Structure 1
Amino acid sequence: PLLALPLQLSLRSLCLHRSFVPTGRLCSSTAAEKGEDSFLKWFLLLIPATTFGLGTWQVKRRQWKIELINELSRLTTAEPIPLPLDPNELKSLEYRRVRVRGRYDHSQELYVLPRSPVDPEKEAREAGSLSSSGETGANVITPFHCTDLGITILVNRGYVPRQKMRPESRMKGQAESEVEVVGVVRLTETRKPFVPNNDVERNRWHYRDLEAMSRVTGAEPIFIDADFGSTIPGGPIGGQTRVTLRNEHMQYIMTWYGLCAATSYMWFAKFIKKIKV
């Protein structure tokens, strides 16, 4: 019996040790799960926080866009000023109305196409939409010798439908006398993706490249869009400056803030109220 006692104690000790192993493992597993839940809880909170930040950024972008639209509208309706000759000054005057006097050189017309006619009221109503009138034609760019300045510039006289592109089809509007033109200063353009290259040989232009246009016509790289009031009866229709910018920021604001509200509720229900979602 005395020799059996240590063996009994050893067996009892082993049994007690084995009985505690599952409990330890259970505690470790529970702690790991709690750690994972805590990480997931705070990680998922990034979703409503991020969408809220994006919505707030769009609010600021919308305010900036509204101010820019108002500034462009102010420039295009301001009293016209004499055309400055300083290139550096001109670079800061895009969309500014200027006044020039001189004669057109109709023998060197350039055609920017395809173009649809601009209706300022329609442009304002449909800002941000990808709509089209269905009618296409070209804008007629004509060298204009400024008699008071002694230089030749480029003037976008305005829109003509395709059947009126040939000068002989609109001879009534090909004024030879000295005229006064009020227009909006425009700068050169960079070709946008998917816009074809200008075809100088065939006189088919797709974007406003002032350097190339100046080389072809011998004019200075100064370009203005004639306003509607400068339209000569029977000629191209002026006022073809598109100054309406797309302003879809309110849609983005509603989208981002809506996602923020939805994901915030789901996070609250899952991790605070412990509702299964």
Structure 2
Amino acid sequence: MASLKSLLASSTRLVLTLKQQSNVIYIKRTFLQPKVTLFKRPESVLQWKFPGGCISFRQPSSSTAAKAGQGEDSFLKWFLLLIPATTFGLGTWQVKRRQWKLQLIDDLTRLTTAEPIPLPIDPHHVNSLEFRRVRVRGHYDHSKELYIVPRSPVDPEKEAREAGRLSSSVESGANVVTPFHCTDLGITILVNRGYVPRQKIRPESRVKGQVEGEVELVGLIRLTETRKPFVPKNDVERNRWHYRDLEAMCRVTGAEPIFIDADFGSTVPGGPIGGQTRVTLRNEHMQYIITWYGLCAATSYMWYAKFIKKIKV
């Protein structure tokens, strides 16, 4: 009994001490469990209340959550507007590209149909005259022919119709490049006489077409080419050229770095077919314009329906 009274006295002193140090917890001397009340205040504060104190937990209010949701919707709204804006910009860019391409085609047409001029002797001057028609007089040196392979005959109307297609003409042959000594200029240049089918590549198979003596011809000035990806390297030893490398061709033939494509009027019976200059340019920009502006219209309507009219799409 004395021990129980001593335990109660110690407990009383402990409670008084805790009460003085904190107003949060108050413990009654009772053998019953403390009453705990949990309720929610209008300002979204959760409190855990028990005799002698309480513990509060503040929750985000509905207005705060609504503001956060509105912020996210606003960001998504203006972010998705970039899609029609971008497609509109791409369509406008294609309009300008089409104008540039049409102007380029017009310039090439005027160059390739203009009256021929005498061939300049200065190679530096020639470099600024690509696709310009020139007139030369002289004779061929058939013993040093070069062959650009594989080549198909040029048909401008057909190539304009088939521009952009993966397939092309199955007819294959070569373009015959022959040194041409200009008697009035005293220099030797290279002339692409034109196309021959595969069975006519060897000179002895087209003896009638090997022009002898002095001739006058008209051609278009062409510049050197850079090897494109996937194009084989030129095989100088076997005389198989895949692209126009003027430096190497002139080194083999001893000609000046001047190259012209003979026009169709230079063609002789049994010889190469002249006029093998490809000046057809792909012009598919109208398709791109329709595509980009169509996407702009469709995405603009979807954006308007979603964020302005609030229609579920």
TM-score by length of 1: 0.92
Stretches (4+) displaced over 4 A: 14-17
Structure-to-structure mapping, 1:47-62, within 5 angstroms? 47-62=83-98
Amino acid at match of 1:134: V
Match of 1:20 in 2: 43
Match of 1:111 in 2: 147
Structure-to-structure mapping, 1:144-155, within 5 angstroms? 144-155=180-191
Contiguous gaps of at least 5 residues in structure 1: 1-13
**The residue matched to 2:42 in structure 1 has which SS?**
helix
Residues 248-270 of structure 1: CA distance to partner in whole angstroms, max 9, x if unpaired? 11111011001000100000000
2:79 alignment partner, one of 31, 37, 43: 43
Structure with the higher fraction of residues in helix conformation: 1
Contiguous gaps of at least 5 residues in structure 2: 1-36, 46-58
Amino acid at match of 1:263: T
Distance 1:45 1:201 in 2: 61
Question: Quick one: higher RCO (CA 8 Å, sep 6+), 1 or 2?
Answer: 1
What is the CA distance between 1:176 and its match in structure 2? Answer: 1.4
Match of 2:228 in 1: 192
Q: Is the CA contact (8 Å cut-off) linking 1:136 and 1:161 kept in structure 2?
A: yes
Match of 2:24 in 1: none
**The residue matched to 1:19 in structure 2 has which SS?**
coil
Distance 2:38 2:44 in 1: 10
1:254 aligns with 2:277: no
When the two structures are aligned, how many residues end up with a matched partner?
264
1:140 aligns with 2:150: no
Residues 212-257 of structure 1: CA distance to partner in whole angstroms, max 9, x if unpaired? 0000000001000000001122100000000011111111101100
Distance 2:44 2:285 in 1: 61
Structure-to-structure mapping, 1:147-166, within 5 angstroms? 147-166=183-202
Q: CA RMSD in A?
A: 1.5
Q: Larger Cα Rg: Structure 1 or Structure 2?
A: 2
* Greater displacement, 207-216 / 122-131: 122-131
Amino acid at match of 1:100: V
Q: Is the CA contact (8 Å cut-off) linking 2:160 and 2:282 kept in structure 1?
A: no
**The residue matched to 1:145 in structure 2 has which SS?**
strand
Q: Is the CA contact (8 Å cut-off) linking 1:156 and 1:223 kept in structure 2?
A: yes
1:31 aligns with 2:54: no
What is the CA distance between 1:83 and its match in structure 2? Answer: 0.3
Q: Is the CA contact (8 Å cut-off) linking 2:148 and 2:174 kept in structure 1?
A: yes
TM-score by length of 2: 0.82
Distance 1:97 1:258 in 2: 43
